[in-house]
Amino acid sequence: MNKKKMLSAYTIVFIFLLITAVLTWIVPQSIVVTNENGIQEVIYNAIFDSNGEIIRGVGAQPAGLWDIIMAPITGFQNAGAVSIAILMAGAFLGLINSVGALDAGIGGLLKRYTGTSLIAILMFVFAIFGSVFGFWEEIPAFSIVIVPLFVLAGYDVMTGLAVLFIGATAGNMASVVNPFSVGAAIGAIGNPELSLGSGMILRMVIFLALYLVGVVYVIKYANTVKKDKEKSIVAGIEVNTRVNEEGHELPELTKKRFWSIMVLVGIIILLILGYMPWYVIELDGGRTFQDVINTPINFIASIPILGSLSGFKHFTPFGDWYFGEFAFVFLLGSILIGLINRMPEEQFVKEFANGAKDLLGVILVLSVANGISVLMGSKSEGMSVTFVYWIQTALQGIPSWAFSIATVAAYVGIGFFLQSTSGVAGITMPILGAVTMALFQGSDIGAAGGQVMLISAFTVGINFMCGIYPGASTMGTLELFHVPYDRYLKFVLKILLPMLAIGCLIISASQFLGLI
């Protein structure tokens, strides 16, 4: 039987790059400026010149052959921080795999928990990550651990991917306390009556509902696949499980392997401490919980010799971490793995390099995907701003009863052109916040209540699109396991579309259910 030959992730992303290049010949560019009142506004059909001056009525700015070929190169430069983070994660996982620690640890988990429990627990963890700090770009690095875990448990590659992508999407769509989406939206609206706590009950209900829908569907699919591998969405495709096929017997959990796994656990704890937005938890005296969580580090840094030796004087505070710190902990973990297992220098360098090399394909896909953003434009100028302008203009004539559904649909459309939640919030919220105020001013929930609904419509809509859009993290992860994008899309739409509908329903009914 002939197997259908699928396009690679490189080709699919490059096709999207070409489509974007064609659009540059048709769609005019627009810019975002800050007016004298400190409010961001869009100037349609305009660009900035080399001196930062506004030039109006310039029309489309076509991208030619030079621009198309340069876009992935510029994309690679722009993705430098995430690229080094992914390479360091790959190097660490190459080392921990080479000593058999990961397989031994997975074996221990499989003995202690059933597959169903693992799915529910890990999906909840990744949903929390998404809801708290917008977990998404980190998925390629985490997938190398999570996907083999479920393959060894008797499931397929898609089960592991679903735990990551569906879990993260459920959390991102709710964004209970995510400062990069909810916080940015509140700041852009500029209503002093709103805070990060405004609408938190509504967002928690959305979180719980979307998580339950996602986990029930994934568990149902996983159990079906475990009974019959032919029912897998990737049946008949030569996927890369990233599991050693030489033998199915998992290695013994020795003392060295145990401490190697503890290094991985320590890395995960550090990442949670580093990425969690502790500053949103306010304490008495103008302090935040970020001050408390960083107290031990600051104390050590204050000790003259110890502070200098540890380097803690230059430590990035917990709560402010980004990809540089992500790469740091995995590099430190790699060194610890080498010391724990007393690896010879030659073996350490070989396994470190091989681990990083395994993720080089992901970096290349990231480069092309970021090239699309280069042609599309940024959150402050380009075609992306024009598309956002068109959509938000259309929303201004929507009646209040249909506002929630219309705004969710609008943000789904906006998410196709611009995935930066903080960027989209900055562009759209000043205008749509004012539209919402006019629509709901005389209602029972008032203007602030309507704006709470708007914020949830924003997080549900744009993060739904992030879940299906062939962006850098999605395509990079799929390439890692040789999963075709069309199979992924077919799978996730069956889950994400009901999640989108439920999110719309909850937001629309929230004013009648006392959730605002």
C-alpha separations of 90 from 151, 164, 304, 360, 486 in Å: 19, 17, 36, 9, 26
CA 232 – CA 238 distance, rounded (Å): 12
| 464 DSSP assignment | H
Query: Which has the higher per-residue pLDDT, 485 or 190?
Result: 485
Domain ranges, ordered by start, for the chain: 9-235+251-277+319-512
The model's confidence at residue 76, banded by pLDDT at 50, 70 and 90, is confident
- Strands 381-382, 46-48: pairing is unpaired
Query: Which has the higher per-residue pLDDT, 365 or 498?
Result: 498
Helix (H) or strand (E) holding 256: helix 255-275
CA 303 – CA 150 distance, rounded (Å): 46
Nearest to 512 by CA among 437, 404, 415: 404
316-332 mean pLDDT: 86
The model's confidence at residue 110, banded by pLDDT at 50, 70 and 90, is low
pLDDT of residue 137: 79
> Is pLDDT above 50 for 443?
yes
pLDDT of residue 341: 94
> Is pLDDT above 70 for 408?
yes
Tens digits of per-residue pLDDT, 188-197? 776 778 876 7
Tens digits of per-residue pLDDT, 172-181? 999 987 867 8
Most confidently modeled of 4-13, 101-110, 293-302, 369-378? 293-302
CA 300 – CA 303 distance, rounded (Å): 5
329-340 mean pLDDT: 94
> Is pLDDT above 90 for 17?
no
9-26 mean pLDDT: 84
CA 206 – CA 429 distance, rounded (Å): 21
pLDDT of residue 96: 87
The model's confidence at residue 248, banded by pLDDT at 50, 70 and 90, is very low
Strands across the sheet containing 381-382: 40-43, 30-34, 381-382
Tens digits of per-residue pLDDT, 205-225? 999 999 999 999 999 999 999
On the CB side of 481, CA atoms within 13 Å amount to 32
Quickly tell me which residue has 């400026």 as its tokens.
33
| 446 DSSP assignment | H
Q: Quick check: helix, strand or coil at residue 410?
A: helix
Query: Which has the higher per-residue pLDDT, 5 or 502?
Result: 502
Sign of the Cα torsion 374, 380, 386, 390 reads positive
268-284 mean pLDDT: 79
* 260 token code pair: 């190697």
* 279 token code pair: 């500053």
Tens digits of per-residue pLDDT, 118-142? 899 889 988 988 887 778 877 887 7
* 96 token code pair: 């921990």
> Is pLDDT above 90 for 500?
yes
pLDDT of residue 11: 78
* 31 token code pair: 């810019």
pLDDT of residue 250: 62
